[in-house]
A = this chain, B = another copy of it.
């Protein structure tokens, strides 16, 4: 009998990250200075990011070595297992082979520490004392708290208000790792104050929280900003997952026909898919599916154009699929997917037809999540459940067409801190929000034209 879980030894852990900028099928448009409309340079980013991360942001090198110190910390939980979802396959009666890359085994419970640890390391190395960030559901905030705790840095987290109250345990987790977490919008920043004046009852959004964290970093000399997704260097750090999967699939003697992950800012998805994007560009027959919520369908219904990364228009303009920086998504429970935009790298590959977007309602994704929990045992994060729903649909297609395809799920995190949303689902209290066409139209009208 083959093994249900495929492990790599620590010695087999990849020692370089993969930088897809070396292999793109079309040129990546640079971020622009909103004042001048000109591409921004390293000096524009220096107030908020350490120089090594700025270099990674624009690097064209295909392989970037992972410093020893980061590798040492990664080994607290990495390499992560690749599981064969035998019990789920049986329940679905599908001829498909389903695997899932289990990033939930990290101490914060998601893929996020892959970049949190790296960012904490590079900040520490350049003498930064304190990091400010935002978080949606809290996966990123708790991962950064974990990373800064290991490197002895202070950490301030602006957490989207609706998640701050929906997910109380994640903020205790951040506190246990020494971080200071407050609900956003807050009265502690000018952008927060301005939003609260205009919309005192707003549930908050990632766009708002980013504004606050960027402002915090820009206005404190000892503080830099850290972003948990969207940017190129974040995606770079996440590629360790896809690189591990490739080694693990080789051990399994298998190769994916379909890979499916959830997309918020896009870094989980990119980290897991990009090493395979290269193969697809080289001719491999492969379906790469990015799943998002119908309540926040940036790839499916957004516009591919320059827009701000945040609500208060403090960030550079990024060329990406966007619903408009003023778009505030309904407060679905997959807080990590409530972002108006999508990583420029992922957006480019959606535009090029390499990545196929798909959107689901939240009751459907919780149904899929419970089936996964009852068969494979692990309770998925609501974000991760989007990928599972995508995989289940593909596996059922395989059953219908009697196709023995190999499907790989990016299992980005567990739902231990999202159980209140499971309770609400089981109580029949979750809303499936209509596709927000009108709100998107309005928000897109506010996007600056260049």
Contact = CB atoms under 8 A, between A and B. Distances in A.
Interface string A1-38: 00111010111000000000000000000000000000
A149 B374 CA distance: 6
Contact of A373 (B7, B176, B377, B419): B176
Interface string A342-367: 00000000000000000000000000
Given A9-B3, A76-B377, A105-B105, A420 B172 contact: yes
A155 to B, nearest CB: 12
A77 B76 CA distance: 17
Given A107-B377, A178-B374, A377-B107, A172 B87 contact: no
Nearest to A374: B149
Nearest to A370: B176
A419 B87 contact: no
A10 B178 CA distance: 37
Given A11-B3, A374-B178, A376-B76, A419 B107 contact: no
Contacts of A11: 3
Nearest to A107: B377
Given A7-B7, A416-B416, A176 B422 contact: yes
Contacts of A5: 10, 75
Contacts of A416: 109, 169, 416-417
A222 interface: no
A152 to B, nearest CB: 10
Contacts of A105: 105
A378 interface: yes
A339 interface: no
Given A3-B10, A423-B175, A107 B77 contact: no
A408 to B, nearest CB: 18
Interface string A147-188: 001100000000000000000010011011110000000000
A146 interface: yes
A379 interface: yes
A426 interface: yes
A426 B181 CA distance: 14
A169 to B, nearest CB: 5
A177 B146 contact: no
Interface string A410-450: 00000011011011001000000000000000000000000
Nearest to A378: B107
A146 B176 contact: no
A176 B419 contact: yes
Nearest to A77: B377
Interface in A170-218: 172-173, 175-178
B379 A4 contact: no
Nearest to A149: B374
Interface in A98-118: 105-107, 109
Contacts of A172: 419-420, 422-423
Nearest to A68: B1
Given A175-B426, A176-B370, A419 B3 contact: no
Closest 9 CB pairs of A and B: A107-B377, A172-B419, A416-B416, A4-B75, A3-B10, A169-B419, A172-B423, A76-B377, A107-B378
